[in-house]
Chains A and B, each alone.
Chain A
């Protein structure tokens, strides 16, 4: 998609070609961005609309750099973003990648990510909030400030809440120091919408609203597989079938958090596998140590109706 738009743009600019044209593709591949985008594509399962949006932003930034080099006005683009989506849909992971992309394109100088929540920004007594917020902002300078669950900053039920003070300082810096840092707000969709409607200043200062969809069942299985691979484990074929069943069941149960639920489930499977090996007689080999079998998966309480169901006797499956 990006390559197509890049070649289309170069074709549409034959006039500039004469006075020292620019190869957008070269400009693009000179930065580290293609590598990061490739990693994004490979490491993150699913998230099609998110990846598409990131490529759009990356393309826009490359074109902006090209315009700058040819003396066209580009102006510092507004790069503040809002990530909305259910828990465990990869908002933090993508924010970290975003910091690298922006660094690769030279829009932030250091490319680090400072991840904060309300507690880090808002003080506990009068006069405590401003220094606290400013200190976090100073730490985030040159990188990306990621505010998780940003809607907690604004508490309409308490008109003397100090969150408003933090919001005002944030807005001021977001407006005046756009070259120094990029702010990414994240949170659940409906609550973020309410937050933006009561703080119109935020909505107008954020250029990119990206919505993270829930994962499909097969995507969650793929995520589990890649987590296992990373930790040097493999699922036996029966275990993988059980895992697909597990994902389908888990989704309908309370507190389902997409990839985060899968990570927790995988951690518990490892525990069960360890105990099984520990209690089995005889020596273990490499294959036994690295394989998660069907019984490790099936022992989960999810198959017995979730955490609300009465626990089965002699079954440690929390």
Chain B
């Protein structure tokens, strides 16, 4: 199942040159770019593992691309995304976030059931690969 989270997620995966161009755009806007990875892309899992601190005061995408490559090499089977944080007053939030790596086979989600009070059923879902890892 193709995970659709963040910008560009309905498009085919971006090539390295396209990622570099997007990162360069972020840097030109003065946003701080950071790299994150996770093995659990559940939509409620907002906080992925950080790959190093956010990068401030960069001028060229080459520096970020180096970190993205290092993160992908270290976690080849995980999701990797790039966040761009805008610190200007009034925004103070992530302005752009997109996935730059997916595992080769995306496992998708499974339905989970939970017995509640009075035999009530609660439903949820969890990422399959994350399940098997535990």
Binding site for B on A (CB under 8 A): 109-110, 112, 131, 135, 137-139, 141-143, 177, 180-181
The count of residues in chain B whose C-beta lies closer than 8 Å to any C-beta of chain A is 12
Contacts of A110 in B (CB 8 A): 59-60
Q: Are B57 and A180 in contact (CB under 8 A)?
A: no
Distance of B46 from chain A, by nearest CB (Å)? 26
Is B21 in contact with chain A by the CB < 8 A criterion? no
Distance of B73 from chain A, by nearest CB (Å)? 15
Binding site for A on B (CB under 8 A): 52, 55, 57-64, 66-67
Distance of B17 from chain A, by nearest CB (Å)? 14
Point out the residue from B59, B64, B67 that lies within 8 Å of A112, measured CB to CB.
Answer: B59
Q: Are B57 and A142 in contact (CB under 8 A)?
A: no
- A56 to B59 alpha-carbon distance, docked (Å): 28
- A181 to B67 alpha-carbon distance, docked (Å): 16
Q: Are A141 and B62 in contact (CB under 8 A)?
A: yes
Q: Are B59 and A177 in contact (CB under 8 A)?
A: no
Q: Are A139 and B59 in contact (CB under 8 A)?
A: yes
Distance of A285 from chain B, by nearest CB (Å)? 46
Contacts of A142 in B (CB 8 A): 59-62
Beyond known contacts A131-B52, A142-B61: 13 more, CB 8 A cutoff: A112-B59, A137-B63, A138-B58, A138-B66, A138-B67, A141-B58, A141-B62, A141-B66, A142-B59, A142-B62, A143-B60, A177-B62, A180-B62
Q: Please name 17 pairs of A and B residues whose Cβ atoms are closer than 8 Å in the assembled complex, sorted by A.
A: A110-B60, A112-B59, A131-B52, A137-B63, A138-B58, A138-B66, A138-B67, A139-B59, A139-B63, A141-B58, A141-B61, A141-B62, A141-B66, A142-B59, A177-B62, A180-B60, A181-B62
Nearest chain B residue, comparing its CB with the CB of A180: B62
- A137 to B64 alpha-carbon distance, docked (Å): 11
- A141 to B63 alpha-carbon distance, docked (Å): 6
Nearest chain A residue, comparing its CB with the CB of B55: A138
Contacts of A131 in B (CB 8 A): 52
Distance of A142 from chain B, by nearest CB (Å)? 3
